[in-house]
Each structure stands twice: as C-alpha cells, then as structure tokens.
Structure 1
Amino acid sequence: MALPTAVGATPVPRKPNSSKKPSAGEIDRFVGTRIRERRITLGLTQQELAERIGVTYQQAHKYERGINRISAGRLYNIAAALEVQVAYFFEGIDNPVRSNFSQRQRMCLELARNFTHITNQRHQEALSHLARALAGEDQQES
C-alpha cells in the first residue's frame, strides 16, 4: 500500500531502469530530507534540533543528509522533537513526489525565525516598516 504523497514535483533518485523499491541509502536520504524540511518549517536550526534530540550538531547534519542511518529509537525522538508521527518521514516514499523548499522560502522562514528573536519591540516595528518600504520600492520598479 502506497503512503500518501506530499505536494511537489521532485522524485527520489532511483537507479536507472529500476522499478524496484528504493535502496536503504535512498530511504536514508529521503527520511533525512523530510527531517530537514520539517525542521525548517518549524523555524529550527540544526543546532536546536540537535539539542532537542540529544546529539551534536554534526550528527544532526549527517541525519539530514542521509549519511548516518537513524535508529528506530532516535527516529521516534526526532518525530517527537519535530511534533510529527514517525510515519511522516516516510510519506511519499513509494510514490516519490515531494516538495522542495525554494531558496526564497528558506529565506522567508529564516527571516521569520530571526524576527521572533528580536526582543526590542521598536526594533521589530522598524524592521517591519523597512520591509514594507522595500516591498513598495520593488512594486514601483516593476
């Protein structure tokens, strides 16, 4: 039974002329990508994820890249830290069409995350006004 697919259009890499199930390495990379996408969606850094699951930044990076295999127990902890069910990481693996964050989406998420860390309300308001002004300039140039 195929799991539901996520929205998007990037297939999981498969070996040429192969209709077999993905290899263990391909699954590791797919799961790692899903971890990364969820982390970014929540506005977490790799360091913050690492702290939540009790590993080093380097280890979290290796999980996201699919370099190191993730044990079942660790995947359970990652799911809890990212507020999803374990099955989330495998959604779309049998019918590999998934979303990719664009560079612009990543910048927007990073901007939002950094904005929430600004404690001075006047600075937040100034940044908000600046963003509106710059957006207005872009519209006038078009």
Structure 2
Amino acid sequence: MPGQRPPVPPFTEETARRKVQAAEDAWNSRDPERVALAYTEDSEWRNRDVFLTGRREIVAFLTAKWQRELGYRLRKELWAYTGDRIAVRFEYEFHDADGQWFRAYGNENWEFDPNGLMRRRFASINDLPITADERRVAFPEQT
C-alpha cells in the first residue's frame, strides 16, 4: 500500500526489532532526506532541547547535525514495545571539526501511525568526550 512503511503496528518483538534496525540503518546513512521519509509529514520531535515539527524541519536539523558531528556512527537497541509504540536505547560516536571524539548515550520514545510512519519521537541524549582509543570496535571508521 502506498504511504506504508512496514513493519506497521501493532508491533511484535520481531517487527519492533526490524523497525529499530531499519532506523539504525537509515541514520547511519547520514542522508537526511532518507531518514525523514520514516516520519509523518507533521511528525513531532524533541531532540535534547530542540523541538521540531514536520519533515522539512527534520531534514534541516539532520543536515546541520551531520555537518557538526563528523564520523557519525550509531547503534540502537530495542528497549520495549507495545501496540504502536517502541522505546529504544542507543549510543553513537562522532568527532567535531577539531578532532575531539564523543560518545552520546540516550533513549528514544517512538509513536507510529497505522501506516508505520513515526508521528512522534522524543529523545533524551547525553554526550561524553572520549579519546580516539576509547572508540568502540563495533563502530567502523566512517568520515
């Protein structure tokens, strides 16, 4: 069906895990347009202290994010699911223009419409400066 983004709710453990993996893959592409297609046209976001509404704002936010957060690499893990909601925990690493590495830890709460598009995303995130030697082996080098 056009406009659907499988898997769709209600989620099972298997479909929730697939949704989380699809999100991880899209975010690791660092392609704001690709990522934004997973959200409703009027999706509501809270990312740290930034509040966004709609795909256009999401694309602008992600474009700026990945211009600042270089070498970005993300891992997501299913935390919980029910009906049309999924909670994940995640960590990602990136470096800034000066070469300082960071690891960000956080949690996200997601709510989906019946077509499997995310209509709400609320993220709480904390950054930790790390050295290049402290980077996770599971994060292959990307620039």
Quick one: higher RCO (CA 8 Å, sep 6+), 1 or 2? 1
> Common fold, TM-score beyond 0.5?
no
Q: TM-score range by the shorter chain?
A: under 0.3
Structure with the largest fraction of helix: 1
